Structure 1
Amino acid sequence: PRAGDPARLPGPRRSGAPAGPHQPEGANAPTPEEARAIASWDRDLDALEGELRRARAAVREVELPSALSASQLMRLAADEQGFVRDLARPMPRPPQPAARQGTRFHAWVESRFDELPLPLLDLLDPATELPGSDQEVADEADLDALKAAFERSEYAERTPYRMEAPVQLTLAGRVIRGRIDAVYKNPDGSYEVVDWKTGRTTQADPLQLAVYRLAWAEATGTPLDRVSAAFLHVRSGRVIRPRDLPGRARLERILQGETGTDGDAQADG
C-alpha cells in the first residue's frame, strides 16, 4: 500500500493451499466469491478513509439555521463545536418514552387550570419543541409521584396567568422559539416566568429562562426588570431563581460566539 493509505487485507487462501514464498503461481488466487468480498472490503476501507480525512479537515463552513429552539440556543452556548458537528452531520433521535411521560405531566398540570385563556401567541409549528421534551419520567408510578410532588409545591394553589405559551423573538438576525410552561401575574402587574423541571437533578441552564423572560417581556410590552424567572424542580419542590439573567444585548453576544451567562443562582426554599 501507498504511504499513509490503509493497508489492504490479504484475501483468504483456499483450504489446503500451501503457504510460503515457494508456493506455485496461482495457488493463492481467490475464488470469485472471495474476490467480491475483498473488493467490498476495499470499498469500505476507502469510505472510512475518506470519512476520516473529512473529519480531520481544519476548516468546515457550517451555516447556523435561521431559526433555533431555546434548547438549541443553550446547546450552542454550552458547546459550540459539538452543536456545529451535529448540524453538519445530524443523527436520527431514538424514541424517548421518558419525554412522552414528561409531556403527560405538563398536560396534567395544565388540566388543573383548564379555565385559563388561550396562549398569548400561537406560534407553535412542527419544528418547535414540545412541552416536556427534555424531561425524565420513568413510568406511571413515577408520573404519579411527580403529580403528588407538584401538589406539595408553592405553585400548587397559584393560578397561572398563561400556561404552555409559545413565544419567539429575534436575536442577532435569528428567530428563537420556545414554549413557556407557566407565567404568573403578580398583584403589582409584574410577571414571573416559570419552567417545570422533572429531572432528578437541580442542574438547569439559566439561558433558557433568559430567553423566555425576554420573549415574554417584548411580546407584552413589559419592561424587562418587571419580569422575573424561576425553575421549579418538581421532585424536590426546590425553586431556583437565577440572578443577573442576560438581556437582549448579552444574549445576542452569546449567539454570536461569546458563551456564558455570567449569572449566579439563588435558591429559595
Structure 2
Amino acid sequence: MLLLTEERAARVPRLDVPLPANLTASEIVRMRADPAAFARELVRPLPRRPVAAARRGSRFHAWVEELFDHRTLLDDDDLQGAMDAELSDDDLHELREAFLRSPYGARRPYAIEESFELPLAGRIVRGRIDAVYALGGGRWEVVDWKTGRSSADDLQLAIYRLAWARLRGVDPSAVDAAFLYVRTGEVVHPPLLTEDELATLLARPHTSTG
C-alpha cells in the first residue's frame, strides 16, 4: 500500500504557485507550517470554516474591547467566526475571570485590535494586533491573547512586533512581544524572527504543491 501511494504521488505533477502580493499574517503562518497545503489553498481556495478557537476568541476580544471601551469594527479576516453560538456563557465567564486575574487584567492598553498593512519583501502583510501597551521610555509591548490551550506560533507575533515598530517609527528592539494564555494567566516572551529573517521567508516568489 505504501509503494502504491508513493507511486501515485510521483505521478502528481509538481505545481509552483506564485505567492500573492497581499497576504495576511495568519496566511504566512499556514504557509510556513505546510507549504504544499498552502499552495493547494491558493490554487483552489475553499471557504474556511471557523474553528472553535476563533469563535471563542471573537467573543472574548469583543468583551475586552468593552472592558476598556475600545470600539473596533472586526471583519472576517481579522476574527473568523463572529457568531459564537457554540461558546457557552460559562466558558466565556471563565475566560473573563481568568483575564482579570492575569497580569494584564488591570492594565489599560494603549491600543486594542490595531490593524496594519506592513510592506515586507515586496508584499503587503495585513493583520490586527490584539493589544499594545506603552511601557514608558519609548518602549512598547504587543500582546497576543490566546484563549485556547494549544501552543501558539511565534511567527505571527514576530510580524506583529515589526508592524507596530513600523507604525510608531521605532526600532523593533524597542518593542517587546508576548503571548498571554488567558486560561492559565501564563505570559510567554518567545524569541522572534528579525525583520531580515521575516523578509527572507517572504522573498521566494513561489510556493509548491509538492
Match of 1:86 in 2: 41
From 69, 81, 104, the counterpart of 2:24: 69
From 136, 149, 152, the counterpart of 2:98: 149
Match of 1:247 in 2: 194
From 172, 179, 193, the counterpart of 1:224: 172
Distance 2:112 2:129 in 1: 7
From 138, 158, 169, the counterpart of 1:210: 158
Tell whether the 8 Å contact from 2:142 to 2:178 is kept in structure 1 after alignment: yes
Task: Report how many aligned residue pairs link the two structures.
Answer: 195
Select the structure that is richer in strand.
Answer: 2
Task: Mark the CA change 1:205 to 1:62 in structure 2 (over 3 Å): closer, same or farther.
Answer: same
Equivalent AA in structure 2 for residue 247 of structure 1: T
Compute the RMSD of aligned alpha carbons. 2.7
Percent identity of paired positions between Structure 1 and Structure 2:
50
CA shift, 1:98, in A, is 5.3
Task: Mark the CA change 1:68 to 1:127 in structure 2 (over 3 Å): closer, same or farther.
Answer: farther
Equivalent AA in structure 2 for residue 187 of structure 1: G
Report 1:41-80 matches (<5 A). Answer: 56-80=11-35
Q: Which runs of 5+ in 1 are unaligned?
A: 1-52, 258-269
Select the structure that is richer in helix.
Answer: 2
Q: Which runs of 5+ in 2 are unaligned?
A: 1-7, 205-210
CA shift, 1:127, in A, is 6.8
Tell whether the 8 Å contact from 1:180 to 1:194 is kept in structure 2 after alignment: yes
CA shift, 1:97, in A, is 6.0
